[in-house]
Structure 1
Amino acid sequence: MNPITTMLETSGDKKAWVMAVTSGKGGVGKTFVSANLAAALAKRGHRVLVLDADLGLANLDVVLNLYPKLTLHDVFVGRCKLEEAILPAPGGFSVVLAGSGLVEYSRLTPEVRDKFQSVVASLIPRYDYVLLDTGAGISDVVLYALSLADDILVVATPEPTSLTDAYATIKVLATQQRRRQLRLVMNQVARPGDGKGISQQLQQVIDRFVSTPAGDPVKLVHLGDIPSDPSVRQAVQKRQLLLESLPGSAAALAVKAIAGRVDALLERV
């Protein structure tokens, strides 16, 4: 069981829904999805925080055009309290940003594990949603961040390399963390319906080759597609949230629809 869930259930504190946003490979728009999904959830009236869980290679600050004086690294080394590292972000949500180029976070030490868990546990009672913007791939640091989440959202694009790495990530999560259900968002989709078709094909492969150690099947829930849209590149180059700069664009409307489905998932929990 998630160690944070056990801790909070014992204490009786209200618990946010923790969703980790991850990908098998970099460059698929994972951080773009994390930031804009947070803005869409905030616009639905929720208290939302995004924690940059890409320790050492963080770029959430770039996407949001923020220049933090204090980061998660400062919290870890005791230079500041967690409250001092929480910043307001454009879009009406909060963030805790991580440092970049910090080699000490390239592997999961017991100290990093304990401090990471403590930070997430401290954030959960304060928000409705905590989104973990993880690194790409299946390093031990990424897998530990994923283990702290109630739900995992995998971001992929239609390219074969992205789908292959997404499949590998799903397989590892099923076998190592006994995840029986994961969410999928297809980004940069060329035509309506393409993402759903790809998701179904990926599910067929998972049905044949992936199960939990107990033999349980693994279900991939397709939350929606984000179309290939030039407005995304414009927003990223300007270091702006798409939902703030071009809220009526096709990609922004797709993210809003995904936020609605995320909300519906939480209502059924």
Structure 2
Amino acid sequence: MTTNATSHSEPTSATAVGGVVLHPSKGKVIAITSGKGGVGKTFLSANLAAALTRRGLRVLVLDADLGLANLDVVLNLYPKLTLHDVFTGRCTLDEAIVKAPGGFSVLLAGSGMVEYSRLTPEVREDFLRLVGEVVPRYDVVLLDTGAGISDVVLFALSLASEVLLVATPEPTSLTDAYATIKVLATQQRRRLIRLVVNQAARPGDGRAITQQLQTVLNRFVGGGQGAAVRLVHVGDIPVDPAVKEAVMRRQLLLVHTPGCPAALAVGQIAGRLVDTVLRAHDAA
């Protein structure tokens, strides 16, 4: 993979954001994933990036759904160059990184690329090199992964220091969320996973769902010698007609209807991540 570090060179000074000093060398990688498709994972990735950008952070969203990418659709972008072009040497990394409407950077993947549906040694090597190149350049790198527990998804998740799992109150979504947590706990030895409940019908739904999942995890996953898995509720995104309208218009919710309940909820989630994840990361 050919890359060029000139136009996105690493700054030499630290960045202060909301009282948090973020050093360029400490880029935070957060993977946003889901057990079931269609629960709003990419919607959250894009709007969360916009919310973090508004807080002064330098954010990159990397489309890690290498075979069925749709981040470009959500952002109404028509990329001429994608990750595929970077991996094949047709362009440099800097040429493939573009600005999204929310002010953050995106690195888009091509859709329908069969060669990226399996985790071959070549895909693994290219992706490792890519993440290593972009992390020092940004305060936050969001990996918008595919849904489920395929080897490609699990590999992308293994590159993240934090996993943000998106689920809805539907039983199928919760069942798949539990399965994803179980795999991450057993295969990657993850002991903390953060949960966002999308399409919450009532205030408090997310906390109740988190507690239900935690009870099942305590019973069937981990246990013994401090190996329990802790599920942290980060926030709920309420059912909001503005979300569907923004998606249909291919606009960011935070741009289309910034004052609607769902947009305010995404902003609160961003604030909690800054307070609990980024501040703790910088302190370390």
Report the TM-score when normalising by structure 1: 0.94
Tell whether the 8 Å contact from 1:179 to 1:212 is kept in structure 2 after alignment.
Answer: no
In the other structure, the counterpart of 2:280 is 268
| In 1, Cα distance between equivalents of 2:152 and 2:256 | 33
What aligned pairs does 1:73-152 form with structure 2 within 5 A after superposition?
73-152=84-163
- Aligned-partner Cα distance in 1 for 2:198–2:184: 21
Contact 2:24–2:137 under 8 Å retained in 1? no
In the alignment, the residues of structure 1 paired with residue 171 and residue 108 of structure 2 have an alpha-carbon distance, to the nearest angstrom, of 31
CA distance in 2, matches of 1:198, 1:147: 25
Work out whether 1:197 is the aligned partner of 2:208: yes
Runs of 4+ residues deviating >2 angstroms = 212-215
Structure 2 match to 1:239: 250
In 1, Cα distance between equivalents of 2:156 and 2:66: 10
Contact 2:24 2:139 survives alignment (8 Å): no
Aligned residue pairs, count: 258
Aligned partners of 1:215 and 1:24: how far apart in 2?
25
1:44 aligns with 2:55: yes
Alignment correspondent of 1:168: 179
Question: Is the contact between residue 175 and residue 212 of structure 1 (CA under 8 Å) also seen in structure 2?
Answer: no
Extract unaligned runs of 5+ from structure 1.
1-11
TM-superposed deviation, 1:157: 0.1
Q: Counterpart amino acid of 1:181?
A: L
Report if aligned partners of 1:188, 1:228 keep a CA contact under 8 Å in 2.
yes
SS at 2:86 equivalent = helix
Q: How far did 1:213 drift?
A: 9.4
After superposition, the C-alpha distances for 1:192-240 in whole angstroms (9 at most, x for unaligned) are: 1111111111111011111189760100000000000000000000000
Tell me the equivalent position of 1:5.
none
| Cα RMSD, aligned residues only | 1.3
TM-score by length of 2: 0.89
1:35 pairs with 39, 42, 46, which one? 46
Query: What is the deviation of 1:56?
Result: 1.2
Identity of aligned residues (%): 72
The reply on whether 1:25 has 2:36 as its aligned counterpart is yes
